[in-house]
Structure 1
């Protein structure tokens, strides 16, 4: 199944993003004021359980990859992750679930069912992706899975987050929104790379 993955013209927007996005070189360890500001953001956003993110997603496992248009809806403990394009399975991809399990459509032999999203991704695509942690990281928060290391940019917002073996690089933020939310996120854990360009946030 993974042999079916192919880079295609759909990957060009993400390749251009990688090439053109200005790299944020500021990696401040964070003083008391920055850490207090981050803790306040985390406390405020921890109460936000209903949101929709739309953007472009690019993925690679070091050998194959692709990109597509992403819509991620979080409704409390339930989620819907929809990807249009060849980024993962070669066709449109939909992952939905919650506490009672997860269902994956858009893969050969699907729909597939499993106890959680991580198990399904591993079984269907061979990917080890911490989707539960990603729910926090995409908001610019530390996940509750274990220790995390933070570095800050000159905007006093997270620039680099390291947790669970992953490095999450925040390249751009929507600082007009309060609290601010990330708009360009690069995450990596060799051999995996994920690139997300957020086009819109809807917080309810």
Structure 2
């Protein structure tokens, strides 16, 4: 399955040029910031149907590369389509509580009990997709303590949870509640960078 990364690593990483990290303001948060974050999380508590389109880069510390992502979340079921436009390859990860299916890799489709287990076996990635489902919305994942920092705009600047540091350089304040425009998740040696071009919450 290493060819997956060889293909991606050959692509010039211009797709994420807009994602160059800014210097983040990190405040522990006053009562206003914490109250605003709690209100956002309550508003998004039932947000489990959406379509997200953006640009994604994933690395395991040795190999990786960028491409475009369409993420369709339909309750407990998900459909990720990752495309590498320059070489015209695409990879699709679908599934839910009953298991996951990865298409587009060498050797034909692969199945696994969960998206996390399948990505680990097929691509050597240890990415917590269940947690990312919360983090991409800019909220804390359930089941673990989180340390929060805020920017001058009172919106989340960084979130540390389950050994990952998730940072939010930019936000789309046209949405109510505001939604992240860029999300970086880092747990050495793994790195995930996502620039969100459009949100469609249903």
Return the alpha-carbon distance in structure 1 between the equivalents of residues 63 and 163 of structure 2. Answer: 21
Give the number of aligned pairs.
198
> Which residue in 1 is equivalent to 2:11?
9
2: CA distance, partners of 1:32 / 1:126: 41
Go from structure 1 to structure 2 and tell me whether the alpha carbon gap of 1:10 and 1:72 turns closer, same or farther (over 3 Å shift).
farther
> 1: CA distance between counterparts of 2:42 and 2:104?
36
| RMSD, aligned CA | 1.6
- Specify the SS of the correspondent of 2:117: helix
Alignment correspondent of 2:92: 94
Partner of 1:203: 201
- Mapped contact 1:133–1:145 kept (Cα < 8 A): no
2:103 matched to which residue of 1? 105
Give 2:74's aligned residue: 75
1:177 to 175, 178, 198: 175
- Whole-angstrom distance in 2 between the partners of 1:58 and 1:111: 22
Query: Does the residue aligned with 1:92 lie in a helix, a strand or coil?
Result: strand
Q: Which runs of 5+ in 1 are unaligned?
A: none
Deviations 1:159-189 (A, max 9, x none): 0100111110101000111000000111111
Shift of 1:18: 4.5
| Residue 110 of structure 1, CA deviation | 2.6
Q: Deviation above 3 Å: which 4+ runs of structure 1? A: none
C-alpha distance in structure 2 between counterparts of 1:13 and 1:101, whole Å: 31
Gaps of 5+ in 2: none
Rounded to whole Å, the distance in 2 between the matches of 1:110 and 1:81 is 17
User: TM-score, length-normalised on structure 2?
Assistant: 0.93
**Counterparts of 1:4 and 1:144, CA distance in 2:** 31
Equivalent in the alignment of 2:148: 150
